[in-house]
Amino acid sequence: MFYNLLEYPEAPPTNRATILKVILDDYKPDLFMVCELKSEEGANSILNTSLKTTDNRYLKAIYVSNQSNPQTNLQQLVFYNSKKLTLESQDLINTGIRDINHYVFKLKTSNPIYLDVFVAHLKSSQGQVNEQKRLDMVLDFTSTLATIPSDHFVIFAGDFNLYTAQEDAYQELLDPSNAIVLKDPIDSPGKWHLNSNFQDIHTQSTRKSNVGFDGFGAGGDLDDRFDFILISENLENSNTLKYVPNTYKAFGNNGNCYNKSINDPTCNGAEYSSSIRDALYAMSDHLPVVLQLETNQALSIEKNNLTENYLQFKNSNIISDVITLTVNSSVLGRDIVLYNSMGQKIKTIVLDKNSKTIDTTYLSAGIYYIKLQGAITPIKFIKQ
Q: Kindly report, residue by residue over 6-40, the tens digit of the pLDDT.
A: 999 999 999 999 999 999 999 999 999 999 999 99
Q: Which of 52-56, 85-89, 148-152 has the lowest mean pLDDT?
A: 52-56
Q: How far lies 354's CA from each of 137, 309, 313, 321, in Å?
A: 60, 14, 12, 20
pLDDT score of 274: 97
Q: Please return the burial class of 249, using the count of CB atoms within 10 Å of its CB with bins 0-12, 13-18 and 19+.
A: buried
Determine the 3-state secondary structure of 36 from DSSP. strand
Residue 75 bridge partners (DSSP): 37
What pLDDT is stored for residue 121 in this prediction?
99
Separation CA 246–CA 229 (nearest Å): 13
Pairing of β 182-183 and β 335-340: unpaired
pLDDT band for position 129 (50/70/90)? very high
Check: CB of residue 326 under 8 Å from CB of residue 312. yes
| Per-residue model confidence (pLDDT) at position 218 | 97
E strands, 9-50, are: 31-37
At 329 the pLDDT is: 82
Which architecture does CATH list for 2-294? 4-Layer Sandwich (3.60)
Contacts of 367 (CB under 8 A, 6+ apart): 340, 341, 380, 381, 382, 383
Top-confidence residue, 170 or 301: 170
For the stretch 271-283, pLDDT in tens is 999 999 999 999 9
Q: Write down the pLDDT at residue 188.
A: 98
Distance CA 358, CA 230 (A): 51
* Res 302: pLDDT: 58
Lowest mean pLDDT among 34-48, 192-206, 257-271, 347-361: 347-361
- What is residue 330's predicted lDDT score, i.e. its pLDDT? 75
Q: How far is CA 325 from its chain centroid?
A: 37
CB 107 within 8 A of CB 115: yes
User: What is the spatial distance between Cα 55 and Cα 68, in angstroms, rounded to a whole number?
Assistant: 36
Model pLDDT for residues 105-125, shown as the tens digit of each residue: 999 887 899 999 999 999 999
| Mean pLDDT value of segment 292-297 | 93
pLDDT digits (tens, 9 = 90+) for 133-158: 999 999 999 999 999 999 999 999 99
If pLDDT is split at 50, 70 and 90, which confidence band does 50 have? Answer: very high
Q: What is the pLDDT of residue 375?
A: 78
Nearest to 97 by CA among 78, 77, 76: 76
State residue 367's pLDDT score. 93
Using a pLDDT cut of 70, give the percent of the chain over it: 98
Q: What's the pLDDT band for 374 if we cut at 50, 70, 90?
A: confident
More confident site: 141 or 86: 141
d(CA 107, CA 125): 37
Q: Can you give the pLDDT at residue 300?
A: 67
Contact between 216 and 251 under an 8 Å Cβ cutoff? The reply is: no
pLDDT digits (tens, 9 = 90+) for 204-260: 999 999 999 999 999 999 999 999 999 999 999 998 999 999 999 999 999 999 999
Residue 153's H or E segment, with its range, is: strand 153-159
Question: Which has the closest alpha carbon to 153: 185, 186, 113, 100?
Answer: 113
- Residue 301 has a pLDDT of 56
Predicted local confidence at residue 30, as pLDDT: 96
303-383: CATH topology is Immunoglobulin-like (2.60.40)
> How far apart are the C-alpha atoms of 225 and 203, rounded to whole Å?
5
**Domain spans of the chain, in order of start:** 2-294, 303-383
pLDDT digits (tens, 9 = 90+) for 302-333: 556 677 878 999 888 889 899 999 998 878 88
Pairing of strands 311-313, 355-359: unpaired
Contacts of 325 (CB under 8 A, 6+ apart): 311, 312, 313, 314, 355, 356, 357, 358, 370
DSSP code string of 83-141: TTEEEEEEEEE--SSS-EEEEEEEESBSS-EEEEEEEEEPPPSSSHHHHHHHHHHHHHH
Q: Tell me the C-alpha to C-alpha distance, in Å, between residue 256 and each of 246, 263, 291, 375.
A: 18, 11, 20, 41
Q: Mean pLDDT of all residues in the chain?
A: 95
Distances (CA, A) of 240 to 106, 112, 151: 13, 10, 10
Distances (CA, A) of 138 to 94, 120, 135, 230: 11, 9, 5, 13
* Of residues 317 and 42, more confidently modeled: 42
Secondary structure letter of residue 50 according to DSSP: I
Q: What is the pTM of this model?
A: 0.80
In degrees, rounded to 5, the angle at the alpha carbon of residue 50 between the alpha carbons of residues 24 and 241 is 45
Average pLDDT over residues 158-162: 99
* CB distance 281 to 22 below 8 Å: no
